[in-house]
A and B are shown apart, each in its own frame.
Chain A
Amino acid sequence: MVAEKYLKTPLQENDLEQLHIGDKVLITGTIYTGRDEAHKRLIKLLGQGEALPFDIKGQIIYYVGPAPAPPGKPIGSAGPTTSYRMDPYAPALLAAGIKVMIGKGPRQQNVIDAMVKHKAVYLVAIGGAAVVIADSIKEAKVIAFEDLGTEAIRELRVENFPCVVANDIKGNDIYREGRKKYEVTQ
């Protein structure tokens, strides 16, 4: 059986200590979206010492570019995008206080090291489960970089948003360990 854990925002000091790679996590509360271009802009603002469009301390960021919202829905299909493209920006955002990143696919070692240093975790949402994920998003509003369209930063209110722990605060990596465990040597 897969262990099932719950995360509620705002995150508390030791919430992330209970998470281990392979655990299923259901998130309820507020999370923020951001992918390629939004990350570039956040890093630029940080570099210039300017205020970010939201206080990122202790927050959760989700790498996604949702489909347009159909009538009556807060958001369209909203599965994760591949995380390695955000690796160049991730250590700086972790240093600035981001606690949880959600995406898909493995991270580079320097990002994993930054997670250990700042006691942060990386969760993966299921690529292709875009409607299940959209179903857990109850409200969505663009709070920054509206000109970026699907890439704008959105504040999402989620209920039981499903993901799996890929890197825990100890630096374990499910992509390495999971594959090793099920590989059949030929």
Chain B
Amino acid sequence: MRKINVQELIPAVKKLCIEANYYIGNDIITKLQEMAAREKSATAREVLAILLKNHQLAAQNMMPLCQDTGTAVIFVELGQEIHLTGGDFTEALNEGVRQGYEAGYLRKSIVNDPVFDRINTRDNTPAIIYMEIVPGNEIRITVAPKGAGAENMSDLKMLKPADGIEGVINFVVDVVSRAGSNPCPPVIVGVGLGGNFEYSALLAKKALLRPLNQTNPIAKWAKLEADILKKINNLGIGPQGLGGRTTALGVNIQAEPCHIASLPVAVNIQCHAARCKSLVL
């Protein structure tokens, strides 16, 4: 049994919030460069060049890539041989968010209730936290801040099993088509297939954590991802919706078993600023 004091999590989460908002992954930069080289629209190439410059300037000036520094979404994989001590685990994660958003000059975008008061909590808490118990004696923490522009364009549908692959493709492409310029394309499309109503949405979010340079290890899903990506890039939406062939940088699918009568499909749209940083304690 390894003991970990939850107070140790505070600086770790603080650091992840700041780094995730300042520095984008190389997988995204490489993909933006590749797609810019193939882009037919001059306006689109111009937009992609500005986005690449933005990533560079953000890192150089230590400023958030986007002013919408998002909801702090935290994934925790907790080793089952760990004994947590020293206080409230959830509160420690929220304290890390509080300190990170203040010290990193990140925008606080959370309101206290969705319909009545909508008063800003002023410290970007509460975070949205997902826990998983895994074998071992380590904690892996991933912070994936998510802006509202892209999140608002996400969608979920309970398809009939008879709708099959065709139904899945049509729904995913339709969600991106309807989203148009709103999620700040080029986007990354997270697709959760199977599970049930709420689990498919979580799968779609988790699918977004897979870097763009990692192909889906299961060939049938990798092919479906490529097919959907092609259809999306044929929509003509382009960077920022101004027209072009670079509408999505990637489609990531995560699938799980489901009920004999169900075919849940959830689509989580992510803008090109796919912020995500992890560490292991």
Contacts and interface: CB of A to CB of B under 8 A. Distances in A.
Interface of A: 1-2, 22, 24, 64-70, 73, 76-79, 81-82, 104-106, 124, 126-132, 134-135, 149-150, 162, 164, 166, 174-175, 177-184, 186
Nearest to A166: B242
Given A124-B242, A126-B47, A178-B241, A67 B57 contact: no
A18 to B, nearest CB: 17
Interface of B: 40-44, 46-47, 50-51, 53-54, 57-58, 61-69, 105-107, 120, 149, 180-182, 184, 231, 234-238, 240-245, 271-273
Contacts of B243: 174, 177-182
Contacts of A184: 234, 236
Contacts of B240: 104, 124, 126-127, 164
Nearest first, the 10 A-B pairs at minimum CB distance are A178-B243, A183-B236, A127-B184, A182-B236, A184-B234, A77-B67, A67-B107, A131-B57, A70-B105, A131-B58
Contacts of A66: 67, 107
A131 B231 contact: no
B120 A149 contact: yes
Contact of A126 (B50, B67, B235): B50
Given A131-B58, A178-B41, A77 B63 contact: yes
Nearest to A124: B240
B21 to A, nearest CB: 9
25 contacts: A2-B42, A67-B63, A68-B107, A70-B105, A77-B63, A77-B65, A77-B107, A82-B182, A104-B181, A105-B180, A105-B182, A106-B180, A124-B240, A128-B273, A131-B58, A174-B243, A178-B244, A179-B243, A180-B236, A181-B243, A182-B243, A183-B234, A183-B236, A184-B234, A186-B234
B28 to A, nearest CB: 11
Given A76-B105, A127-B240, A180-B236, A67 B69 contact: yes
Contacts of B105: 67-70, 76
Contacts of B43: 2, 22, 24, 164, 174, 178
Nearest to A76: B105
A105 B54 contact: no
A179 B46 contact: no
Given A64-B67, A79-B67, A105 B181 contact: yes
B259 to A, nearest CB: 32
A123 to B, nearest CB: 12
Nearest to B241: A175
Contact of B106 (A67, A69, A127, A149): A67
B64 A77 contact: yes
B193 to A, nearest CB: 22
A70 B63 contact: yes
A104 B240 CA distance: 8
A65 B67 contact: yes
A69 B57 CA distance: 15
A41 B152 CA distance: 25
A76 B64 contact: yes
A146 B111 CA distance: 18
Contacts of B57: 131-132, 135
Contacts of A65: 67, 107
Nearest to A175: B241
A174 B236 CA distance: 12
A185 to B, nearest CB: 8
B17 to A, nearest CB: 13
A65 B69 CA distance: 11
B41 A128 contact: no
A98 B182 CA distance: 24
Given A67-B63, A130-B63, 18 more contacts: A24-B46, A69-B105, A76-B107, A77-B66, A77-B67, A105-B182, A106-B180, A126-B54, A128-B273, A131-B61, A131-B64, A132-B57, A174-B43, A174-B242, A177-B243, A178-B241, A179-B238, A180-B243
B245 to A, nearest CB: 6
